Structure 1
Amino acid sequence: MRRSTTRSVTRSLSRSGRERSALDAAYDECRHLVRTTRPTEHALMQLMPPVARPACWALYAAFSRADDLIDSTEGTPEERSRRLQEWRVALESDLASGTSEDPIRLALTDSVWHWGLDLGDLLAAMDAVQRDDGRTGVANWQEWRERAHSQNISWPEQLMRMLVRVGLPVPVRLRDLPGFTRFVDGLFLTDMLRDLREDLDAGQVWFPADVMDRFRVTPADLIAREWTPEVRELIAHLTGQAREWLEGSRRALRNTLPLGPSIVLDSAVELFGAELDAIVRAGSAVLHRPVRVPRHIEWRLLGPARARAAVVWRLTLPPGRADAPARTAAAPATPGDATAPDPLTGTGLPTTRIAEPPLPPRPHRDGARPPAIAEAHLPQHVAIVMDGNGRWATGLGLPRDEGHRAGAVALRDVVQGALEIGLAHLTVYAFSTENWKRSPDEVSKLFAIMRSELLDGELLDHDVRLRWVGSPDGLPDDVVEVLRAQEHATRHRTGLTLNVCVNYGGRAELAQAGAALARAALAGEVDPARVSEQLFAAHLPHHALPDVDLLWRTSGEIRTSNFLPWHAHYAELHFTDQPWPEVDRLDLWEAVVAYTQRKRRKGAASAAPAKGAE
């Protein structure tokens, strides 16, 4: 039996002083790198909630490191490409293990574990940087835009994901918002103009060829630093285009974002607009040196914005989320009360976007691989009573809602393990009809955590079909809406079916089936004398749910608690002592292996002489 240990949720509680010091130093190195090489971006990051700023530094530093490796003038192109690929492979290994010897990768890995960032998007952006190797230019704005988006959309979306985590109801998939692509285009073009000298030093020109042709400018003209009237007109046209995109995006996005992110957006447009002004004033110097906004202009623009942002974060974020340091280094910090209406629809129903094709399962943080079990021996349906969240938190001196947040992290890993092992159906008991007996404050926070986990969208990136089992009666409208939205978005997925029981009670389900049969009998549609098990099952509100093969409960309680009494009538029972927040996919695999070792006779006699009925 594998010894139970506290998972990544509590890793920072037991970090040694040396480990904590190394992590702090890693974040400091990222901050220094961003501040010295990208002062504009660093200044904008200062408008984020203080608790999220270290992750901002880590994200940008990692992208900058990848970019620097491919743009370096040291070695041959093949050597530079190999160095980037080695760094990318090491990063993926670090992200899987949860630690790193490299300070920038250590900070990024810690941020990914802490905030639950999107690994697929992060690594895809790194791959896009890698693909630039050997590429000589772009033909038109469409190719230019594809390059810009593949490399640059991920990191602002990760910033929005962090705002969701700290309690703001913002759209995580920014690329779905009207105007956001123009915002990315404006930022990318401004950045390209600001650092034009670096590209020219490397012999690269990334402006669209058809635009340069229109102004009768060749890449060789720019690389030779020839400040001709044609080059001047080209630069003027490009700065005007960037300004148009930035201002257009502000108009399109102004009414779709909450106040805090809107301040960041406005400040970005103003500050990058100031950079465009500096580029125009620089004239021919833009070909010879990076262009920066004078400090006094930066302070004039950002001083009031910082003051407004500080006030907004304190007023709009849940208590303790605005400026508290991260309490754990590995657990995603899910918000406690992100229940405001969605800014796009005004109804609380989020804009749902799933990854197509779905991403493969995220690997276990220690690199563990699933046991080899033949498909014929796998249980088809595993149901779990995720017990012990509140008691786990209380035992650590934390509020009970911290246990529910940690339980959400555990569920993420178990779902990844279910995908890895090839499980067809997984049903989890998220909120029972009996849970309404808990304090209104705990119930409210539990629903907020549930909604935020669904909005976060990590599972939507994988081959998971989500189904809701339960009743809408009494549930908050925004929880009902997001459950229905995710059901609809994932309806065509063919991998794991994840049934989430919310406001579910087994006896209530049986009573509903009985009432439905009675109505059918009164209408003359059913002969009461011919009611069979199959007919009764067909009138269950969730009749499509298959029978449970394995029912697992954590935290040492040995009962089923009104969970799926019809569907689990012949389930194998599996009880473990560790509370749910300490569980991960290894425990699921252990339960499944134990199941395969049992004899499933369902009342039939075994081959050996039987001593009695099962």
Structure 2
Amino acid sequence: MRRSTAQSGRQRSALDAAYDECRRLVRTTRPTEYALMGLMPPAARPACWALYAAFAHADDLLDSSDGTPEERAARLRQWRTALEADLTSGTSDDPIRLALTDAVWHWGLDLGDLLGALEAVQRDGDRQSVATWQEWRERSHAQNISWPEQFMRLLVRCGLPVPVRLRDVPGFTRFVEGLFLADMLRDLPEDLDGGHVWFPTEVLDRFQVAPADLIARRWTPAVRRLIAHLTDEARAWLEGARRVLRGSLPLGPAIVLDTTVDLFTAELDAIIGAGPAALSRPVRVPRHKQWRVLGPARARAAAIWRLTLPPTTATPGGRPAAGPDADTAQSTPEWQPVPVAEPPLPPRPHVDGVRPPEIAPAQLPNHVAIVMDGNGRWATGLGLPRDEGHRAGAVALRDVVQGALEVGLRHLTVYAFSTENWKRSPDEVSKLFAIMRAELLDGELLQHDVRLRWIGSPEGLPDDVVEVLRSQERATRHRTGLTLNVCVNYGGRAELTQAGAALARAALAGDIDPSRVTEQQFAAHLPHHSMPDVDLLWRTSGELRISNFLPWHAHYAELHFTDTPWPEADRRDLWQALETYTQRKRRKGAATETK
């Protein structure tokens, strides 16, 4: 298959949106797999999202509670038939099929294998339990083996020699079985909600567990032994496959393999630790344990890809221009702003399904400011580089912003980089700015009703960081939901000094009487005079100071200090701070409480 990769701006925008839809789907429904895809070469990640999103969407069509099993199977057949037509034409009006079609065309993926895997999912439409482990393995192989092989094909197209047909590599089928069983244990509560038990009948009979026991969530000794046995089996299959496979893979894919085994093993440990709760709700690996695995792996993988892969030119959607049609590809800038979703998407729910507290709008603070403290110390305490703490802190901020949107907060200001932070090592500062720039370019917040504003000085900042900050400000200027002020290269005293200098110039020009300067006049000369006063200032990680943060605007702020380091915070901590705020008496010097 060959086609020209030269595309109009409209086509490229639709394609970028399609890949982003796949990214959101994978990130929301399978955060572990999404994190593992982050270990792939950056140019290949959008194709990974498209591949997994297509498989997940097909599976969801069957697992949906909408309609009869026959109707759900019919919808899957229609979707697969439409995919075949799209793959022939090279385009689609469905975002997931459009992204997958582009990935297949651009990367030369194995179309027959992909359609075969989807056909296996379709054949599984009756969702009947299997009797033996052999039947279970046949189902696992038919549905799952093609997908990691496509990932290997992506690495080959990036320029790395790896074995594409992994099913012929010793240990690989057992690796797939371990992932499939671990995934089945992870999804057990959801399957039980639908009245399904997918474990082989022979293992249920061996432990004398009836499907009805599991569906009724009876945590009997027999059920406990069954779950312990299945987690031990999945762990043994994964560890055994790792020992065999490592010698067949280059260093980069070996890092992905090791991290996959470690993360899925951590999920199995969490399932065992959850006890009876493992039958009722999804079990999550604590964030600090996940980052203990992911942090070093991300650093090693990034270094390996830089050393072993030839450079490629990335298009705005992340797809490389290198490939079979590189002669027709048009050169593009290093990056382009991520399109702003219109209309904006609703807030993304928390992974555990928790909802915000019911707080009347009149009781909510209008403006919350956060000193996001403890990133570096959190990472050091876990034996990770300090920059991994900043990376984890960026993830925490995403969730807090979603929580601010959910609860209806109007203004949120975060301290991202102070003028005092220049005292840190040049290496840490450089990595912090790289993380900041990547987060701004990721575009997730731009899909929601967030207006981003930059507060701080451009002096000394890298040009690309300044450019991205200003670009995202322009892109979101019409948003009316949450205003997110990001303080980068900001200092409170410097802000006051600027206001004083502006007042002095105005006095010299005769515009004001220096003997009659009012607070309102002073505030009008602040660099960001339109920003409302801070009602609540929250600092994490146990420090009890405000560190030169918004001294004018926070003059009457309620202070809220928590011991949790910022990377371990999420929207629930914000909600707790808001509930604490509603219990404070806001007198502002008056004798009686004011609202």
Alpha-carbon offset, residue 414 of structure 1: 0.6
Q: 1:66 to 1:509 in 2, by over 3 A?
A: closer
Q: Do the aligned residues in 2 keep the contact of 1:506 with 1:564 (CA within 8 Å)? A: yes
Q: Which amino acid aligns with 1:356?
A: E
Indicate the residue corresponding to 2:577 in structure 1. Answer: 591
Q: 1:521 to 1:348 in 2, by over 3 A?
A: farther
Alpha-carbon offset, residue 399 of structure 1: 1.5
Question: Does 1:325 find its partner at 2:270?
Answer: no
Q: Residue 457 of structure 2: which of 463, 471, 489 is its match? A: 471
Question: Does 1:145 find its partner at 2:145?
Answer: no
Q: Do the aligned residues in 2 keep the contact of 1:153 with 1:184 (CA within 8 Å)? A: no
Indicate the residue corresponding to 2:354 in structure 1. Answer: 368
Matches within 5 A, 1:334-349: none
Indicate the residue corresponding to 2:487 in structure 1. Answer: 501
Distance 1:153 1:469 in 2: 39
Indicate the residue corresponding to 2:339 in structure 1. Answer: 353
Question: Does 1:398 find its partner at 2:384?
Answer: yes
Q: Do the aligned residues in 1 keep the contact of 2:50 with 2:96 (CA within 8 Å)? A: no
Alpha-carbon offset, residue 262 of structure 1: 10
Alpha-carbon offset, residue 349 of structure 1: 5.3
Q: 1:134 to 1:78 in 2, by over 3 A?
A: farther
Q: Do the aligned residues in 2 keep the contact of 1:66 with 1:84 (CA within 8 Å)? A: no
Indicate the residue corresponding to 1:514 in structure 2. Answer: 500
Q: Do the aligned residues in 2 keep the contact of 1:471 with 1:503 (CA within 8 Å)? A: yes
Distance 1:133 1:436 in 2: 55
Q: Secondary structure at the match of 2:502?
A: helix
Indicate the residue corresponding to 2:129 in structure 1. Answer: none
Indicate the residue corresponding to 2:526 in structure 1. Answer: 540
Alpha-carbon offset, residue 372 of structure 1: 0.4
Indicate the residue corresponding to 2:157 in structure 1. Answer: 264
Q: Deviations over 1:201-224 (max 9, x none)?
A: x9xxxxxxxxxxxxxxxxxxxxxx
Q: Which amino acid aligns with 1:64?
A: F
Q: 1:575 to 1:50 in 2, by over 3 A?
A: closer
Indicate the residue corresponding to 2:51 in structure 1. Answer: 60
Q: 1:379 to 1:68 in 2, by over 3 A?
A: closer
Distance 2:85 2:453 in 1: 44
Q: Residue 560 of structure 1: which of 523, 530, 546 is its match? A: 546
Distance 1:415 1:604 in 2: 33
Structure 1 residue runs of 5 or longer lacking an equivalent are: 1-22, 32-44, 86-128, 157-180, 203-259, 272-308, 315-319, 609-614
Q: Which moved more, 1:376-385 or 1:350-359?
A: 350-359
Matches within 5 A, 1:434-449: 434-449=420-435
Q: Deviations over 1:319-377 (max 9, x none)?
A: x9888736767668697799999877987653321222211111111111100011111
Q: Do the aligned residues in 1 keep the contact of 2:451 with 2:480 (CA within 8 Å)? A: yes
Q: Which amino acid aligns with 1:60?
A: L
Q: Do the aligned residues in 2 keep the contact of 1:553 with 1:574 (CA within 8 Å)? A: yes
Q: Residue 364 of structure 2: which of 378, 383, 386 is its match? A: 378
Q: Do the aligned residues in 2 keep the contact of 1:466 with 1:490 (CA within 8 Å)? A: yes
Q: Deviations over 1:415-452 (max 9, x none)?
A: 11001000001100011001111111111111111111
Q: Which amino acid aligns with 1:503?
A: N
Q: Do the aligned residues in 1 keep the contact of 2:415 with 2:486 (CA within 8 Å)? A: yes
| TM-score (normalizing by structure 2) | 0.55
Q: Secondary structure at the match of 1:429?
A: strand
Q: Secondary structure at the match of 2:464?
A: helix
Q: Secondary structure at the match of 1:552?
A: strand
Matches within 5 A, 1:69-148: 79-82=69-72, 132=79, 145-147=91-93
Structure 2 residue runs of 5 or longer lacking an equivalent are: 1-29, 123-152, 165-248, 264-284, 317-330
Q: Do the aligned residues in 2 keep the contact of 1:70 with 1:80 (CA within 8 Å)? A: no
Distance 1:463 1:50 in 2: 27
Distance 2:388 2:542 in 1: 20
Q: Deviations over 1:391-428 (max 9, x none)?
A: 11111122211111111111111111001000001100
Q: Secondary structure at the match of 2:527?
A: coil
Q: 1:51 to 1:264 in 2, by over 3 A?
A: closer
Q: Which amino acid aligns with 2:407?
A: I
Indicate the residue corresponding to 2:562 in structure 1. Answer: 576
Q: Which amino acid aligns with 1:422?
A: G
Question: Does 1:413 find its partner at 2:399?
Answer: yes
Distance 1:550 1:491 in 2: 24
Indicate the residue corresponding to 1:423 in structure 2. Answer: 409
Q: Deviations over 1:474-517 (max 9, x none)?
A: 11111111111111111111111111101000000000111111
Question: Does 1:528 find its partner at 2:507?
Answer: no
Q: Do the aligned residues in 2 keep the contact of 1:70 with 1:81 (CA within 8 Å)? A: no
Q: 1:520 to 1:589 in 2, by over 3 A?
A: same
Distance 2:427 2:561 in 1: 29
Q: 1:511 to 1:346 in 2, by over 3 A?
A: farther
Indicate the residue corresponding to 1:164 in structure 2. Answer: none
| TM-score (normalizing by structure 1) | 0.53
Alpha-carbon offset, residue 64 of structure 1: 3.4
Q: 1:595 to 1:50 in 2, by over 3 A?
A: closer
Q: Secondary structure at the match of 2:441?
A: helix
Alpha-carbon offset, residue 59 of structure 1: 6.3
Q: Which amino acid aligns with 2:55?
A: S
Alpha-carbon offset, residue 68 of structure 1: 7.3
Q: Secondary structure at the match of 2:376?
A: helix
Q: Which amino acid aligns with 1:458?
A: E
Alpha-carbon offset, residue 261 of structure 1: 8.3
Question: Does 1:484 find its partner at 2:484?
Answer: no
Q: Secondary structure at the match of 1:145?
A: coil
Q: Do the aligned residues in 1 keep the contact of 2:371 with 2:415 (CA within 8 Å)? A: yes
Distance 1:130 1:357 in 2: 31
Q: Do the aligned residues in 1 keep the contact of 2:107 with 2:154 (CA within 8 Å)? A: no
Structure with the bigger RCO (C-alpha within 8 Å, sep 6+) is 1
CA-atom RMSD, angstroms?
A: 4.8
Question: Does 1:550 find its partner at 2:536?
Answer: yes
Q: Secondary structure at the match of 1:561?
A: coil
Distance 1:607 1:408 in 2: 37
Matches within 5 A, 1:449-468: 449-468=435-454
Q: Do the aligned residues in 2 keep the contact of 1:50 with 1:322 (CA within 8 Å)? A: no
Distance 1:528 1:131 in 2: 76
Distance 1:71 1:582 in 2: 36
Distance 1:568 1:58 in 2: 43
